[in-house]
Structure 1
Amino acid sequence: MAIRDEDRFQPRPAPPKGGGKDGGQRFVSQVLRQVSRTGPARAGTTARRGGSAFWRGRVAARFAAAQPSPRSRRVIIKSRFVLVKAGGEGIGRHLRYLQRDGVTREGEPGRAYGADTDDADTRGFEIRSQGDRHQFRFIVSAEDAEELGGLRDFTRALMRKMSIDLETRLDWVAVDHWDTDNPHTHIVLRGRDDNGKDLVIAPDYLGHGMRARGSEIVTEWLGPRTEREIQQSLVREVGQERFTTLDRTLLRHAVAGMVDLAAIRVDSGDQSILRGRLRHLSDLGLANPLDPTRWQLDERMEETLRSLGERGDIIRTLHRAMRGEAREWVIHEPGRNEAPIVGRVAGKGLADELHDTGYLVIDAVDGRAHYVRLPSMTELADYPLGGIVAAQSAPASAADRNIAAVARDGIYRTSDHLTQVRTRDSDPDRVVKSHVRRLEALRRAGMVERIDDGVWRIPQDLTQQGQVFDIKRTGGLTIELRCHLPLVRQVQAMGATWLDTQLIAGGKELSSSAFGAKVREAMWHRADFLVREELAERRGQRLTLARNLLQTLRDRELAQTAATIMTETGLSYKPVGEHGRAHGVYKRSLQLVSGRYALLNDGLGFSLVPWRPVVEQRLGQSISATIQAGRVTWEFGRKLGPSIG
């Protein structure tokens, strides 16, 4: 019997979740995002992967899938796929990182260039990129970069090859860096093709296609590596404490962690080099000889060698920053409960240039030099060279402990908390609001649940979960700028300096050598300045400081700054003091000796209030500040709303 058309089964799939006419596009974006997280695919797999037809560069990657010739010049390329946040500052921040001071051969700021210009308009590139869904970031390092001379011609040749492979014009800017042992180039590529559509690059092309193109260019320009160059390169790797190409060869031929040199088909010279490398790995405890040809490799060999290589890079960084001054080295490890590290910024830079993760070298008052890795996306410009900083492992949140103590049967109520703090705090509402802000942050991280206004369900291990949350968010570290001026300029500065706090404390935490000794000498000269300003008095070897010294110095500096602003604007100054209130439009911030201050303009006059990062996003908006005992609470908008203490 014939089946009628109306009786045939016809599936009608629903649109992807999310609704709207662009729901399908959002679904594709999610797929691409997950693909980008999986990393580069194995060579030769692009053509077989379903849905790969819209990936550009897949054909070029297929032809580049073969193992490169040993005589090819080596080029290392690290790539990153970055989603662009609309209205965010990520692009501009990354470009500022790339053009920071000290990255050229002469120690000057980096200079961005493009396909047709040696002076790229990075601000224009940032504006063009704001509407993009994503962008690509690359670090390109040729092994023979020094022989190439300038890197710009090589970078432009590589990007021209990429443009052909990807079948579209490319919009990019690049900055060359010469501040490390391996000269390299940073490239930022817009995620748009020449038709204005999303530029989607095949993972295989990012994984090895680009590298093959770069290798072709360098090999063509400098010629293939000679046998002697290859041999010398391998010999240099024998005793290195990092993960090398020799280690890759050993792991590639290993079976269940065991490698048999007799089964590796190489000439006698290369085999003797591998044997030498294995002996060095044995000294490191990473390989164990079973017989004259067979060796058992440690299962964590690669991880350990990469860690050793990173540590070696850090030690070299410490040496460069200290410029030959003898110090004991300390490398900070996140999560360890260490005493605060206080000292001058002796060096800074990017520990991970692909992810904008910086570091500081701190010449500390304890007489040691500390390497501190900063939380991701921290602005290096906030920590000037020579300035005084304090770094400390982030402790468990006091707010989390309070919330857990107030909660009953896993339920926290603001009404219960208010009852508890009303008898012992002058501003209980402020205290409870600060805890609600913490709960909101944990709710967004999926750790707590808001049941109703002022009612929250919390887990039993809230304190532990909150500490893990803070470590992920800040790297387990808090960095505070104590004074932006170096010691020499603090001596006669009109304002409350870090040296003044050391005079008040009596220099108890200072070492008698290294930077601690320099601080003691600077304190003596600072004391002479305070005596001349009638803010201190010497009686023999004893120094008596004026009462409320820090507040007096702050007030004097604020009065001088306010007088300058009044002359410029004609507005009157409305001092706030340690107990007061100010409101107005946030116009700008000012970096003073006593700290950073926000200028609030109410139309008739202005006030200077201690600045905090949270107010920077409110530039041009109306805000209010309440100061109690020097502590500032911020309120945003014309109506009283959420406050930031």
Structure 2
Amino acid sequence: MPDDDFTPKLGSQGGKDGKKVVKYGGRILAASRLVGIKTGAKGGQRSRRFDGSRIGRGASMGRLLSSRDRLAGFRGRRAVVKASLIRLAGKGGQAARAHMRYIQRDGVTREGLPGELYGPETDRADGYDFLKRTAGDRHQFRFIVSAEDGAEYPDLKPYVRRLMTQVEQDLGTKLDWVAVDHFNTERPHTHIVLRGVDDRGDNLIIAREYIAHGLRERASELVTLDLGPRTDHEIEARLRHDVDQERLTAIDRRLIRRMDADRTVAATDNDPFQQSVAAGRLRKLKAMDLANDVGGGSYRLAEGLEDTLRRMGERGDVIRLMQRELTARRLDRAGVEQVVSNDLREPLVGRVIQRGFSDEHRDRHYLLVDGVDGRVHYVDIGRGDATPVVPEGATVRITPSRIEAKQADRTVDVVARANGGRYSVDLHLRHDPNASEAFAASHVRRLEAMRRAGVGVDRQADGSWTIPGDHLARAEAYAQRQQRDRPVSLTVMSRSPVADLSVKGASTWLDQELAEGGHGTIRDVGFGREVRAALAARRQWLIEQQLADGERSTFRYCDGAIDNLRQRDLREAGKRIGTSLGKPFELARLGERIEGVIARRVDLESGSFTVVERSRDFTLVPWRDVLERNVGKSASGIVRATFIDWQFGRGRSGPTIF
């Protein structure tokens, strides 16, 4: 009975045949040593150093589930959980709103509809209301949960709710969360946003060990309960499939665990099937130059094997994605090369096929571009907010970014070293009397950007700055972070189909190609063939309009022809915008002073322009990205050949932008 005393009797050390029998307790100790649990017995593994991973709720459960995870067999169904902690201070609230819009975007359901937000008790949660509740929170957690066989669930909501209920029990508190299920990738997955407070309103601290191991183990055991353990047939079929894969597999991980100090491993195994797949995999690795046969059935695995196979797997996923998208759009042309450009080295001009997420967890995006060079490119464009949204079919120019520490960083460092580690505009002007105040102010803007990024510069109450001794190293690290977030710069050449540009009464990117005569690099295949046809039609139209003359080799524009086309485009846009504003349009002249309100941005074939609204009329001047944060403000400036000196504020005493 449950209340009766119970004393287990483990038996004697000797068996009936006189052979020594290992005690059950000894078997437990042996198993615990395999997973790194401190036992106190001789030969037991030492306890690891304190690293903070067990601070917070769920530490003991995370430790237990971590041990179970390492002792688990092959029959359990797997799940992947990606987790991140987001600080809500500063721009964190704005980022939280953007993330909420992102997970509810169009095309993520099985029917291609916008994502539906749900919670513990409702199938239609209010994202705005959730964000209002988080307004005073210090942080929030974001999880992406993907079960290996999640496609077998007709509805993921019950699975996710049971998972979060189990997490509540593990952490000992009620949780406030919302989630969205996504079915727009090969593996269905769920985005979960969890408030960073417990049921008492205190900051919710979850132990890293639970986040790293506990969540995954809970997600795996639930899907195993729902769909049942994997059968022998499923396990064997998966391993046979993995033998010839050019990516990191479970077989590779097992081989890596078994290799010795010289990276040598053999296929030998007590299980004939496991030995067979290990031998087959080692032969495949040898064919890929990732293992050497050292004789006697042993192989030496290559250095960096795991990273190499992981990169190969990612590249294979990208190529399959490209093939799928090209086939769906009937762009799978014979002889067209597919290029994975994770590190773009040369400028690329082409038509956007698709924009997507290469890593939803880190908000990294990619573009598929049908290039004028006759190749289809997969381009890593970094963080989503670092590159403007571009419609499919638009023609773009993508150039590699080269972000590095600036001369301004070196100047700040020199001034600070001469002034006891402090920098200010006054100290700068005192150090360099030839510098202007506007020039010094640009250094302050650089420091402010670094401060917001948490690089390590501090602004004092009097407006001066404390500059650390390793400022240049910090500036270099800041530049490298920017480079990772924005590896390329993107310019929209045209949002219209290239065939329509041949008769446009505007200055188009085709005119630039014709004027520069550099279209010899445009190959007569794929999108390049379409561009070549459009260039030929554009030449003929320009000659008919008496804006150019000559044949292909002697073709040239008439004087002022491109400026004439640009003014046509501006006047046509001015008529359209004037109808909505109820004001006439006036063309801006070189050297003219412009004063008015920065109203908005308009994109024309001749480029992007700023609507500057004045009391009686309005004008259009070239757009600069820096104007984005000044929309609605009064401004003044003088129209130069290639730029405008902008000053903001009624008194025009604000910063100047060149």
Q: TM-score range by the shorter chain?
A: 0.7 to 0.9
Partner of 1:584: 596
- d(CA) in 2 for partners of 1:583, 1:153: 60
Q: 1:440 deviation in Å? A: 7.2
Query: How far apart are the structure 2 equivalents of 1:460 and 1:159?
Result: 45
For 1:529 and 1:417, the matched residues in 2 are separated by: 56
The answer on 1:608 being equivalent to 2:613 is no
Q: In structure 2, what is the equivalent of residue 217 of structure 1?
A: 222
Counterpart in 2 of 1:358? 365
Amino acid at match of 1:58: A
Displacement of 1:467 in angstroms is 7.4
Distance 1:399 1:633, change over 3 A: farther
Tell me, what secondary structure is at the counterpart of 1:375?
strand
Alpha carbons of structure 1 residues 48 and 459: separation in structure 2 relative to 1, 3 Å:
closer
Deviation at 1:365, TM superposition (A): 1.3
Residue 91 to residue 572, structure 1, CA distance change in 2 (3 Å)? same
Of the three residues 253, 269, 285, the one matched with 2:289 is 285
Compute the displacement of 1:360 (Å).
Answer: 1.3
Question: Aligned pair 1:73/2:77, yes or no?
Answer: yes
Counterpart check, 1:252 vs 2:257: yes
5 Å-filtered alignment, 1:100-499, equals 100-258=105-263, 260-261=265-266, 266-323=270-327, 324-325=332-333, 326-334=335-343, 338-378=345-385, 382-395=389-402, 400=407, 470-475=479-484, 476-499=487-510
Deviations 1:568-616 (A, max 9, x none): 3334545434543334343433333333333344555444333333222
Distance 2:405 2:205 in 1: 46
Q: Name the count of aligned residue pairs.
A: 591
Check the 8 A contact 2:409/2:475 in 1, yes or no.
no
Q: Is the 8 A contact 2:403 2:483 kept in 1?
A: no
Corresponding residue for residue 511 of structure 1: 523
Structure 2 CA distance for partners of 1:60 and 1:577, relative to 1, 3 Å: farther
Match of 2:632 in 1: 620
**AA at the equivalent of 2:341:** H
Query: Offset of 1:260 from its aligned partner?
Result: 4.5
**What is the SS of the residue equivalent to 2:592?**
strand
Give the secondary-structure state (helix, strand or coil) at the position aligned to 2:289: coil
In 1, Cα distance between equivalents of 2:297 and 2:466: 65
Counterpart of 2:8 in structure 1 is none
Kept in 2, the 8 Å contact 1:137–1:188? The answer is: yes
- Counterpart of 2:567 in structure 1 is 555
Pick closer, same or farther for the CA change 1:84–1:107 going to 2, 3 Å.
same
Deviations 1:193-223 (A, max 9, x none): 3333222212122112111121122112211
Q: Distance in 2 between matches of 1:159 and 1:473?
A: 36
Which stretch shifts more, 471-480 or 212-221? 471-480
Report the secondary structure of 1:155's partner residue.
Answer: helix
1:632 aligns with 2:644: yes
Distance 1:114 1:624, change over 3 A: farther
- Change in 2 beyond 3 A, CA 1:333/1:599: same
Between the aligned partners of 2:470 and 2:99, the Cα distance in structure 1 is: 40
1:97-143 Cα shifts (integer Å, max 9, x gaps): 43445544455554444444445443444444443322222222211
The 8 Å contact of residues 62 and 210 in structure 2, kept in 1 or not, is answered as yes
2:61 aligns with 60
Q: Residue 439 and residue 557 in structure 1: after superposition, are their counterparts in 2 closer, same or farther (change >3 A)?
A: same
SS at 1:280 equivalent? helix
The 1:180/1:87 distance shift into structure 2, 3 A limit, reads: closer
State, as a whole percentage, how many aligned pairs show the same letter: 37
Change (3 A) 1:559 1:306: same
Q: 1:32 maps to what in 2?
A: none
For residue 174 of structure 2, give the secondary structure of its aligned residue in structure 1.
Answer: coil
Contact 1:392 1:478 in 2 (8 A): yes
Which protein shows a greater Rg?
Answer: 2
Contact 2:177 2:192 in 1 (8 A): yes
Task: Report the Cα distance in structure 2 between the residues aligned to 1:596 and 1:481, rounded to whole angstroms.
Answer: 9
Partner of 1:567: 579
Contiguous gaps of at least 5 residues in structure 1 = 1-41, 421-427
Asked whether the 8 Å contact 2:108–2:183 carries over to 1, the reply is yes
Structure 2: which 5+ runs fail to align? Answer: 1-34, 39-46, 419-426
Partner of 2:421: none
- The more displaced of 430-439 and 78-87 is 430-439
Shift of 1:75: 0.8
**Which one-letter code corresponds to 2:299 in the other structure?**
W
SS across alignment from 2:192:
strand
In structure 2, the residue matched to 1:642 is: 655
Between stretches 180-189 and 118-127, larger displacement belongs to 118-127
Contact kept, 8 Å, 1:351 with 1:359, in 2: the verdict is yes
The AA in structure 1 aligned to 2:75 is R
Question: 1:304 is aligned with what amino acid?
Answer: T
Q: 1:316 to 1:456 in 2, by over 3 A?
A: same
SS in 2 for 1:72: coil
Q: TM-score, normalised by structure 1?
A: 0.78
Report the equivalent of 1:20. Answer: none
Q: Please give the alpha-carbon distance, in whole angstroms, between the structure 2 residues aligned to 1:501 and 1:415.
A: 46
1:599 match: secondary structure: strand
Q: Residue 91 of structure 1 is aligned with which of 81, 91, 96?
A: 96
* Distance verdict in 2 for CA 1:48–1:379, change over 3 Å: closer
TM-score normalised according to structure 2 size: 0.76
Letter in 1 for 2:356: G
With over 3 angstroms needed to count, the CA separation of the structure-2 counterparts of 1:135 and 1:493, relative to structure 1, is farther
Kindly state the Cα deviation for residue 349 of structure 1 after the two structures are TM-superposed: 1.1
What are the Cα deviations for residues 451-473 of structure 1, in whole angstroms up to 9, with x where unaligned?
x99999999998x9977754431
Where 2:568 maps in the other structure, the secondary structure is helix
Deviation at 1:385, TM superposition (A): 1.4
CA distance in 1, matches of 2:226, 2:464: 69
Change (3 A) 1:543 1:261: closer
What SS does the aligned partner of 2:383 have? coil
Alpha carbons 1:393, 1:477 under 8 Å: kept: yes
Residues 590 and 368 of structure 1: CA distance in aligned 2, closer, same or farther (over 3 Å) = same
Distance 1:52 1:529, change over 3 A: same
Indicate conservation of the 8 Å contact 1:97/1:356, yes or no.
no
